[in-house]
């Protein structure tokens, strides 16, 4: 088979690595890919939202199956256009991807389906939103309605913070049209967890639940990022908990989408918070998390291509998915200044030393090749994942690998998964 993977981050590197283990696969392409992915696949210089050229490439190369990693091309209709041209592709349609590309749509759907979530209001007028936040209990959560690369959410601790963020999103348009509307919701307290599943829209199969570290700095301080680390499986969910989550949340959601004539097929992500009143949904994504995918896919022992094909064919229940009993921890190495402004082009040292360690995988996120050097090319640069028989072993191994890597301005959190040791 010829496989095309869309994307160029750590999630896509983890996908390509798993796909490369399938005996069904003869050739892997990745658009646009990165310096790490280039060791396993032929990188194609087509951007993720250049959908017409991606279709042309898939036709020219007789691609058997395309896998979409990021949310943006899904929201822009890549699955619809590929299917219109008779090309097999894994992922939800544009209308189904609205579960992530419009937080207002997601909240309204959850409300219709009686899925536990925070109380909320939606606003398209700045003055109305500004007036609403006055007197609301603090902290208060403000979300840009559209896609903002994981940075469009603010937990405001003061009214001044809330007002400033509203101005940035709705008036200054720092996230462009994603800020045409905002969702303002109550703040929920509890442990966060990412519950992700393969689904054909009717049946579903969970991946090991993971926890993402969104804040930039140790102790969950600083601005939100796309994710600074993760671990799986989490310690506070068992199989009975997952069955309840499926019964109360995932199954009603999928049935609700089918009723709305937007059936979902692909990977669906529920961002939950375990409150004193039980689990509640904070966010829904139309794809696998990043960096959660690096830990969950690292635990997968089955052929991932079999899973993709079963979902596309509407028979995921026929596939027995096997997972490792090990623990996996991922530490993200980021550029200085991320998630704000940062410089690129810094040479990265120690990649081979880290990658040669037992049970360590170094996934590239924002890297590029410059001559015979590998340099930084993004905010999140590398995702260093390690397996262990215990969380303590996985944490120790991950940070030992991190210690072998360096680049100018490298920053990372030092507390990933340490609380579960």
Question: Is residue 133 a part of any domain in this protein?
Answer: yes
382: in domain: yes
What CATH number does residue 389 fall under?
3.90.600.10
Question: Domain of 268: which CATH number?
Answer: 3.30.470.20
Structural tokens at position 142: 């403000």
* Residues 312 and 369 placed together within one structural domain of the fold: no
Q: Answer whether residue 195 is part of any domain.
A: yes
How many structural domains comprise the chain? Answer: 4
**Residue 111 included in any domain:** no
171-219 tens-digit pLDDT: 999 999 999 999 999 999 999 999 999 999 999 999 999 999 999 999 9
Domain around 332: 327-420
Helix H or strand E segment including 240:
helix 239-245
Q: What is the pTM of this model?
A: 0.95
**Residues 45 and 126 both lie in one domain:** no
**pLDDT number for residue 317:** 76
pLDDT for the residue 224 = 85
Cα 372 from Cα 348, distance rounded (Å): 11
**Which residue positions in the chain have pLDDT lower than 70?**
none
| Residues 181 and 198 placed together within one structural domain of the fold | no
Is there a single domain that holds both residue 175 and residue 244?
no
Q: What is the mean pLDDT of the chain?
A: 96
- C-beta atoms surrounding 181 within 10 Å: 20
Are 350 and 277 in a shared domain?
A: no
Do 213 and 314 lie in one domain? The reply is: yes
Which domain CATH number covers 170? 3.30.1490.20
**CATH number of the domain within which 58 lies:** 3.40.50.20
Distance of CA 94 to the CA centre of its chain: 17
Q: Which of 136, 166, 186 is the last residue of a domain?
A: 186
Task: Provide DSSP, 305-356.
Answer: HHHHHHHHTT-GGG----B-SSEEEEEEEE-TTTTS------B-B-HHHHHT
Does residue 157 lie within any of the structural domains? yes
């Amino acid at each position: 088979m010829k496989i095309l993977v869309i994307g160029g981050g750590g999630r896509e590197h983890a996908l390509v690595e798993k796909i490369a283990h399938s005996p069904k696969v003869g050739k892997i392409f990745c658009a646009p890919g990165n310096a790490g992915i280039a060791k396993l696949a032929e990188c194609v210089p087509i951007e993720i939202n250049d959908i017409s050229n991606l279709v042309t490439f898939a036709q020219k190369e007789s691609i058997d199956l395309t896998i979409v990693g990021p949310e943006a091309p899904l929201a822009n209709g890549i699955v619809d256009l590929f299917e219109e041209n008779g090309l097999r592709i894994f992922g939800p349609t544009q209308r189904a991807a609205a579960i992530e590309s419009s937080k207002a749509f997601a909240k309204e759907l959850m409300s219709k389906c009686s899925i536990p979530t925070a109380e909320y209001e939606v606003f398209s007028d700045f003055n109305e939103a500004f007036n609403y936040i006055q007197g609301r209990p603090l902290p208060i959560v403000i979300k840009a309605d559209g896609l903002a690369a994981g940075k469009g959410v603010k937990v405001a601790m003061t009214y001044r913070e809330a007002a400033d963020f509203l101005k940035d999103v709705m008036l200054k348009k720092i996230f462009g049209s994603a800020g045409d509307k905002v969702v303002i919701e109550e703040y929920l307290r509890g442990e966060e967890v990412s519950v992700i599943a393969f689904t054909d829209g009717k049946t579903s199969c969970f991946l090991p639940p993971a926890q993402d570290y969104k804040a930039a700095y140790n102790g969950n301080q600083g601005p939100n990022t796309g994710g600074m680390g993760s671990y799986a499986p989490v310690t506070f969910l068992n199989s009975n908990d997952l069955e309840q989550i499926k019964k109360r949340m995932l199954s009603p959601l999928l049935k609700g989408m089918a009723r709305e004539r937007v059936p979902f097929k692909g990977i669906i992500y529920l961002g939950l918070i375990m409150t004193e009143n039980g689990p509640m949904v904070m966010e829904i994504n139309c794809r696998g998390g990043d960096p959660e995918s690096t830990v969950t896919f690292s635990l997968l022992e089955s052929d991932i291509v079999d899973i993709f094909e079963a979902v596309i064919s509407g028979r995921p229940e026929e596939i027995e998915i096997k997972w490792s009993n090990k623990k996996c921890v991922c530490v993200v190495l980021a550029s200085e200044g991320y998630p704000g402004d940062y410089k690129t082009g810094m040479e990265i040292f120690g990649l081979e030393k880290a990658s040669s360690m037992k049970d360590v995988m170094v996934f590239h996120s924002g890297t590029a090749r410059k001559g015979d050097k590998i340099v930084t090319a993004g905010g999140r640069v590398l995702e260093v994942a390690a397996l262990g028989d215990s969380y303590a072993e996985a944490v120790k191994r991950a940070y030992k690998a991190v210690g072998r890597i360096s680049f100018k301005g490298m920053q990372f959190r030092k507390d990933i998964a340490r609380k579960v040791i």
